[in-house]
Amino acid sequence: MATYSVIIPVYNEALVIRETYRRLKTVMEQTYEPYELLFINDGSTDETLEILRELAVKDDTMKYIDFSRNFGHQIAITAGMDYASGQAIIVIDADLQDPPELILEMIERWKEGYEVVYARRVKRKGETVFKRWTAYVFYRLLRAATEIDIPVDTGDFRLIDRKVCDQLRYMRERSRFVRGLVSWVGFRQTAVEYEREPRFAGETKYPLKKMIRFSLDGITSFSYKPLKLASWLGFLLSAASVVGMFVVLYLKWFAHSTVAGWASLLMVMLLGNGVTLLMLGAIGEYIGRIYDEVKERPLYIVNETWGVGTKHERKPS
């Protein structure tokens, strides 16, 4: 049984894995306590798995889980939590944007009695203006939309206690937004601050499409506000149309002039249809997720594992 489990999701990270391994190793040796490095290979198509195998045969602390295909970053983290055996579990990105050295500071906080220590980025280096800007807007939007207190500018780089991990393992929801779930379970939480480094090598595995999906997962998992927006917009548009009706009738009966032609008509129709479709889309986002939930498929499928015991099927007591 390890004291610390470090969970590292990897997707086509052949260029960075060796360096990540080396840096993590150096840091974890400084704890003088047993630890495990648990890599989750999220269906990589490059040599990631070969490198993991090569490292694992030489090192007992090195373990991995190999997915049958790409299931996504958040699911990979979840699998890591399912298999981790440590008393404290640390989640870190593979690309060294999150400095492994910060783990020591997190561990100190954990020993002071905090169950969740998350890392807040005070600065992001080497990321595009677009990424920084979208991330900035996303965290504020999420904060405005949800009732629970999800800290801003905080990724999944964090340390959680075994207690928190066990609670998270109870939650098998599919559209997972792990950092939200961690806030949701509560316990004593604190932050350490860091400056986000540029990627060590390779490129981001979060293209715009995945980013949008991820943001929608975050908002829909923790808020009904988009649905409430539909009723409010409906109310507003109906009110506006009643006023409009009176104006038109007044003009026709008393001013004997009618507003000309189809331009105005078309505008109103397009606006109405646009809003309706938009709101249908919002409802669709929720229905799609309900559909995913009721199918109750497993969250991920494992192809091969190394070094880990059987998945903790035991429910937390």
Q: What distance in Å separates the CA atoms of residue 313 and residue 317, rounded to the nearest whole number?
A: 12
Q: Is 95 in the site for Mg ion (CB under 5 A)?
A: yes
Stretch of 91-99, 103-111, 143-151, 265-273 lying at the interface with ligand UDP (CB under 6 A): 91-99
**Nearest distance in Å: CB 17, ligand UDP:** 9
Phi/psi of residue 199, nearest 5 degrees: -55, 140
Contact 192, 117 (CB under 8 A): yes
**Nearest distance in Å: CB 3, ligand UDP:** 23
Q: What distance in Å separates the CA atoms of residue 98 and residue 95, rounded to the nearest whole number?
A: 8
52, 63, 66, 73: which one binds ligand UDP (CB under 6 A): 73
Q: Is 205 in the site for ligand UDP (CB under 6 A)?
A: yes
Q: Is 183 in the site for Mg ion (CB under 5 A)?
A: no
Region class of 293: left (phi > 0), else alpha (psi between -120 and 50), else beta:
alpha
Q: Is 94 in the site for ligand UDP (CB under 6 A)?
A: yes
**Nearest distance in Å: CB 205, Mg ion:** 7
11 binds, among ligand UDP, Mg ion, none (CB under 5 to 8 A by kind): ligand UDP
Contacts of residue 229, defined as CB under 8 A and 6 or more positions apart, other chains included, come to: 279, 282
Q: Is 189 in the site for Mg ion (CB under 5 A)?
A: no
Q: Is 13 in the site for Mg ion (CB under 5 A)?
A: no
Measured CA distances, 277 to 15, 267, 280 (Å): 44, 15, 5
2, 5, 11, 168: which one binds ligand UDP (CB under 6 A): 11
Stretch of 67-75, 136-144, 227-235, 245-253 lying at the interface with ligand UDP (CB under 6 A): 67-75
Q: What distance in Å separates the CA atoms of residue 123 and residue 132, rounded to the nearest whole number?
A: 10
41, 78, 97, 189: which one binds Mg ion (CB under 5 A): 97
Count of residues in contact with ligand UDP, rule CB under 6 A? 16
82 binds, among Mg ion, ligand UDP, none (CB under 5 to 8 A by kind): none
**Nearest distance in Å: CB 63, Mg ion:** 22
**Nearest distance in Å: CB 216, Mg ion:** 20
139 binds, among ligand UDP, Mg ion, none (CB under 5 to 8 A by kind): none
Q: What distance in Å separates the CA atoms of residue 268 and residue 304, rounded to the nearest whole number?
A: 58
13, 115, 161, 217: which one binds ligand UDP (CB under 6 A): 13
Cα dihedral angle (137, 143, 146, 147), rounded to 10 degrees?
A: -170
Measured CA distances, 267 to 73, 165, 236, 260 (Å): 43, 53, 17, 13
97, 146, 167, 215: which one binds ligand UDP (CB under 6 A): 97
Q: Is 12 in the site for Mg ion (CB under 5 A)?
A: no
Q: Is 98 in the site for ligand UDP (CB under 6 A)?
A: no
**Nearest distance in Å: CB 196, Mg ion:** 8
